[in-house]
Amino acid sequence: MDQSNRNAHSTRWHRARGFSLLEMVMVIAITIIVACFAVLSMVPVMNAQHAINAYNTTISALRQGRDNAISQRTSYSVTFSSSTVPNTVVVAPTLTFSGDLPTATYQLPTDVTYQIQTAYASTTPPDGYGSGVVAIDFGYPSPGTGTGGQTVVYFCPDGSAQNSTSAGNCSGMNNWSGGVIYLSRGTDLLSSRAVSIWGGTGRIHGWRLYTKSGGYQWLRD
Protein backbone atom coordinates (compact mmCIF):
# COMPACT_ATOMS: atom_id res chain seq x y z
CA MET A 1 0.00 0.00 0.00
CA ASP A 2 1.54 3.33 -1.04
CA GLN A 3 1.71 6.38 1.22
CA SER A 4 -1.35 8.11 -0.25
CA ASN A 5 -3.54 5.03 0.27
CA ARG A 6 -2.29 4.65 3.84
CA ASN A 7 -3.15 8.30 4.59
CA ALA A 8 -6.65 7.96 3.10
CA HIS A 9 -7.27 4.77 5.08
CA SER A 10 -6.09 6.42 8.31
CA THR A 11 -8.36 9.42 7.76
CA ARG A 12 -11.40 7.23 7.16
CA TRP A 13 -10.60 5.18 10.32
CA HIS A 14 -10.36 8.28 12.51
CA ARG A 15 -13.64 9.62 11.14
CA ALA A 16 -15.42 6.32 11.75
CA ARG A 17 -14.10 6.11 15.30
CA GLY A 18 -15.36 9.53 16.51
CA PHE A 19 -18.77 11.16 17.16
CA SER A 20 -19.97 14.42 15.77
CA LEU A 21 -21.21 17.21 18.05
CA LEU A 22 -24.73 16.72 16.74
CA GLU A 23 -24.65 13.03 17.61
CA MET A 24 -23.48 13.73 21.15
CA VAL A 25 -26.19 16.38 21.66
CA MET A 26 -28.85 13.92 20.47
CA VAL A 27 -27.61 11.22 22.86
CA ILE A 28 -27.64 13.65 25.78
CA ALA A 29 -31.15 14.86 24.90
CA ILE A 30 -32.49 11.31 24.70
CA THR A 31 -30.87 10.46 28.05
CA ILE A 32 -32.47 13.51 29.70
CA ILE A 33 -35.92 12.66 28.29
CA VAL A 34 -35.70 9.06 29.51
CA ALA A 35 -34.57 10.24 32.96
CA CYS A 36 -37.49 12.69 33.18
CA PHE A 37 -40.00 9.98 32.34
CA ALA A 38 -38.43 7.70 34.94
CA VAL A 39 -38.68 10.38 37.64
CA LEU A 40 -42.28 11.23 36.73
CA SER A 41 -43.28 7.58 36.87
CA MET A 42 -41.82 7.33 40.37
CA VAL A 43 -43.78 10.30 41.80
CA PRO A 44 -47.04 8.37 42.39
CA VAL A 45 -45.07 5.56 44.02
CA MET A 46 -43.30 7.98 46.37
CA ASN A 47 -46.58 9.73 47.22
CA ALA A 48 -48.22 6.41 48.07
CA GLN A 49 -45.24 5.49 50.22
CA HIS A 50 -45.63 8.72 52.22
CA ALA A 51 -49.18 7.73 53.17
CA ILE A 52 -47.98 4.24 54.13
CA ASN A 53 -45.18 5.70 56.24
CA ALA A 54 -47.63 7.99 58.09
CA TYR A 55 -49.98 5.06 58.70
CA ASN A 56 -47.14 2.88 60.02
CA THR A 57 -45.92 5.71 62.25
CA THR A 58 -49.39 6.10 63.78
CA ILE A 59 -49.80 2.40 64.49
CA SER A 60 -46.25 2.09 65.85
CA ALA A 61 -46.74 5.03 68.24
CA LEU A 62 -49.95 3.55 69.62
CA ARG A 63 -48.38 0.13 70.05
CA GLN A 64 -45.36 1.67 71.74
CA GLY A 65 -47.61 3.48 74.22
CA ARG A 66 -49.52 0.31 75.04
CA ASP A 67 -46.40 -1.89 75.27
CA ASN A 68 -44.63 0.65 77.50
CA ALA A 69 -47.64 0.90 79.83
CA ILE A 70 -47.72 -2.87 80.24
CA SER A 71 -43.96 -3.39 80.60
CA GLN A 72 -43.37 -0.38 82.90
CA ARG A 73 -46.54 -0.99 84.96
CA THR A 74 -47.63 2.63 84.63
CA SER A 75 -49.82 4.69 82.32
CA TYR A 76 -48.66 6.21 79.05
CA SER A 77 -50.30 8.90 76.97
CA VAL A 78 -50.32 9.06 73.18
CA THR A 79 -51.09 12.59 71.99
CA PHE A 80 -51.97 13.42 68.38
CA SER A 81 -51.60 16.94 66.96
CA SER A 82 -52.83 18.16 63.59
CA SER A 83 -52.59 21.90 64.30
CA THR A 84 -49.24 22.34 62.53
CA VAL A 85 -47.38 20.63 59.68
CA PRO A 86 -45.81 18.17 60.06
CA ASN A 87 -48.44 16.53 62.27
CA THR A 88 -46.99 14.87 65.35
CA VAL A 89 -47.54 11.98 67.74
CA VAL A 90 -46.04 12.11 71.25
CA VAL A 91 -45.72 9.00 73.43
CA ALA A 92 -44.96 9.82 77.07
CA PRO A 93 -45.35 8.48 80.63
CA THR A 94 -48.05 10.30 82.58
CA LEU A 95 -46.43 10.34 86.03
CA THR A 96 -44.49 13.46 86.97
CA PHE A 97 -41.74 11.46 88.70
CA SER A 98 -41.10 9.13 85.75
CA GLY A 99 -38.47 11.23 84.01
CA ASP A 100 -36.27 8.18 83.46
CA LEU A 101 -38.99 6.46 81.40
CA PRO A 102 -38.88 6.84 77.61
CA THR A 103 -40.67 9.64 75.76
CA ALA A 104 -40.82 9.78 71.98
CA THR A 105 -42.07 12.26 69.38
CA TYR A 106 -42.89 11.20 65.83
CA GLN A 107 -43.62 13.30 62.75
CA LEU A 108 -45.71 12.44 59.71
CA PRO A 109 -44.46 13.24 56.18
CA THR A 110 -45.34 16.87 55.43
CA ASP A 111 -47.79 15.96 52.65
CA VAL A 112 -49.83 13.59 54.87
CA THR A 113 -52.06 14.85 57.69
CA TYR A 114 -54.71 13.71 60.12
CA GLN A 115 -57.77 14.91 58.26
CA ILE A 116 -61.30 14.12 57.11
CA GLN A 117 -62.38 13.51 53.53
CA THR A 118 -66.06 14.18 52.77
CA ALA A 119 -66.57 10.58 51.60
CA TYR A 120 -65.90 9.23 55.12
CA ALA A 121 -69.29 10.36 56.40
CA SER A 122 -71.05 8.01 53.97
CA THR A 123 -69.06 4.93 55.05
CA THR A 124 -69.46 2.59 57.99
CA PRO A 125 -66.74 3.89 60.36
CA PRO A 126 -63.87 1.59 61.38
CA ASP A 127 -65.01 -0.65 64.25
CA GLY A 128 -68.19 1.45 64.47
CA TYR A 129 -66.56 4.43 66.23
CA GLY A 130 -67.88 7.91 65.48
CA SER A 131 -69.46 9.06 62.24
CA GLY A 132 -66.47 9.87 60.03
CA VAL A 133 -66.57 13.64 60.56
CA VAL A 134 -63.74 14.13 63.11
CA ALA A 135 -60.13 13.37 62.16
CA ILE A 136 -58.84 12.49 65.65
CA ASP A 137 -61.81 10.93 67.38
CA PHE A 138 -61.09 9.04 70.61
CA GLY A 139 -62.99 8.94 73.90
CA TYR A 140 -65.83 6.49 73.19
CA PRO A 141 -66.56 3.99 76.01
CA SER A 142 -67.76 1.59 73.30
CA PRO A 143 -68.89 1.84 69.64
CA GLY A 144 -72.01 3.94 69.32
CA THR A 145 -71.73 5.54 72.76
CA GLY A 146 -70.22 8.79 74.01
CA THR A 147 -69.22 11.94 72.14
CA GLY A 148 -65.59 11.23 71.20
CA GLY A 149 -63.46 14.03 69.80
CA GLN A 150 -60.53 13.47 72.17
CA THR A 151 -56.98 13.72 70.81
CA VAL A 152 -55.18 11.92 73.67
CA VAL A 153 -55.34 8.22 74.53
CA TYR A 154 -54.03 6.85 77.85
CA PHE A 155 -52.82 3.25 77.96
CA CYS A 156 -52.95 1.46 81.30
CA PRO A 157 -50.88 -1.39 82.80
CA ASP A 158 -53.66 -3.85 81.95
CA GLY A 159 -53.37 -2.86 78.28
CA SER A 160 -56.68 -0.99 78.13
CA ALA A 161 -57.07 2.47 76.57
CA GLN A 162 -58.78 5.09 78.72
CA ASN A 163 -59.79 8.75 78.73
CA SER A 164 -57.58 9.87 81.61
CA THR A 165 -55.54 8.66 84.55
CA SER A 166 -55.28 9.53 88.21
CA ALA A 167 -51.89 9.21 89.89
CA GLY A 168 -50.90 6.71 87.22
CA ASN A 169 -53.85 4.42 87.90
CA CYS A 170 -56.74 3.87 85.53
CA SER A 171 -60.31 4.03 86.73
CA GLY A 172 -61.92 1.08 84.97
CA MET A 173 -64.42 0.30 82.28
CA ASN A 174 -66.44 3.50 82.67
CA ASN A 175 -63.36 5.38 81.50
CA TRP A 176 -62.53 3.27 78.43
CA SER A 177 -61.43 5.28 75.41
CA GLY A 178 -62.04 3.68 72.04
CA GLY A 179 -62.03 5.55 68.79
CA VAL A 180 -60.46 6.13 65.41
CA ILE A 181 -58.01 8.43 63.68
CA TYR A 182 -58.01 9.23 59.96
CA LEU A 183 -55.16 10.29 57.71
CA SER A 184 -54.62 10.90 54.02
CA ARG A 185 -52.41 12.70 51.56
CA GLY A 186 -53.99 15.99 50.50
CA THR A 187 -57.13 15.41 48.47
CA ASP A 188 -56.10 11.94 47.34
CA LEU A 189 -59.06 9.99 48.70
CA LEU A 190 -57.68 6.53 47.97
CA SER A 191 -54.55 7.29 50.00
CA SER A 192 -56.81 7.29 53.08
CA ARG A 193 -55.92 5.17 56.06
CA ALA A 194 -57.51 4.80 59.50
CA VAL A 195 -56.45 3.33 62.85
CA SER A 196 -58.96 2.28 65.50
CA ILE A 197 -58.59 1.29 69.16
CA TRP A 198 -60.85 -0.88 71.31
CA GLY A 199 -60.81 0.77 74.72
CA GLY A 200 -61.38 -2.27 76.91
CA THR A 201 -58.60 -4.34 75.34
CA GLY A 202 -56.42 -1.64 73.82
CA ARG A 203 -56.35 -3.61 70.57
CA ILE A 204 -55.22 -1.56 67.58
CA HIS A 205 -56.63 -2.14 64.10
CA GLY A 206 -55.46 -0.68 60.81
CA TRP A 207 -57.80 0.15 57.93
CA ARG A 208 -57.69 1.20 54.29
CA LEU A 209 -60.37 2.85 52.15
CA TYR A 210 -61.45 0.91 49.06
CA THR A 211 -63.93 1.64 46.31
CA LYS A 212 -67.11 -0.39 46.07
CA SER A 213 -70.21 -0.21 43.90
CA GLY A 214 -71.73 3.20 44.48
CA GLY A 215 -69.23 4.40 47.08
CA TYR A 216 -66.41 3.44 49.44
CA GLN A 217 -65.78 1.14 52.39
CA TRP A 218 -63.18 0.63 55.08
CA LEU A 219 -61.49 -2.77 55.14
CA ARG A 220 -59.08 -4.10 57.74
CA ASP A 221 -55.44 -4.36 56.67
For residue 121, the domain's CATH number is: 3.55.40.10
Residue pLDDT, tens place only, 49-75 = 999 999 999 999 999 999 999 998 889
pLDDT value of position 156:
92
Question: Which residue range is the domain that position 120 belongs to?
Answer: 47-220
Residue at 7 is within a domain: no
What is the chain's Cα-based Rg? 28
Residue at 162 is within a domain: yes
pLDDT band at 31 (very low <50, low <70, confident <90, very high): confident
Residue at 21 is within a domain: no
Residue at 206 is within a domain: yes
Query: How many domains in the chain?
Result: 1
Please give the angle made by the CA atoms of 191, 148 and 198, to the nearest 5 degrees. Answer: 70
Residue at 37 is within a domain: no
Contact, 200 vs 176, CB < 8 A? yes
Which stretch, 42-46, 131-135, 146-150, has highest mean pLDDT? Answer: 131-135
Closest residue by Cα to residue 204 from 166, 163, 145, 153:
153
- Please, is 12 exposed, middle or buried when counting C-beta atoms within 10 Å of its C-beta (0-12, 13-18, 19+)? exposed
Residue pLDDT, tens place only, 146-168 = 899 999 999 999 999 998 765 45
H-helix segments, 87-132:
none
Residue pLDDT, tens place only, 90-100 = 999 987 665 67
pLDDT value of position 39:
56
Longest Cα–Cα distance of the chain, Å, equals: 108
Sign for the CA dihedral angle at 6, 7, 8, 12 comes to: positive
Question: Which amino acid, 143?
Answer: P
CA distance 10 to 207: 72
Residue at 38 is within a domain: no
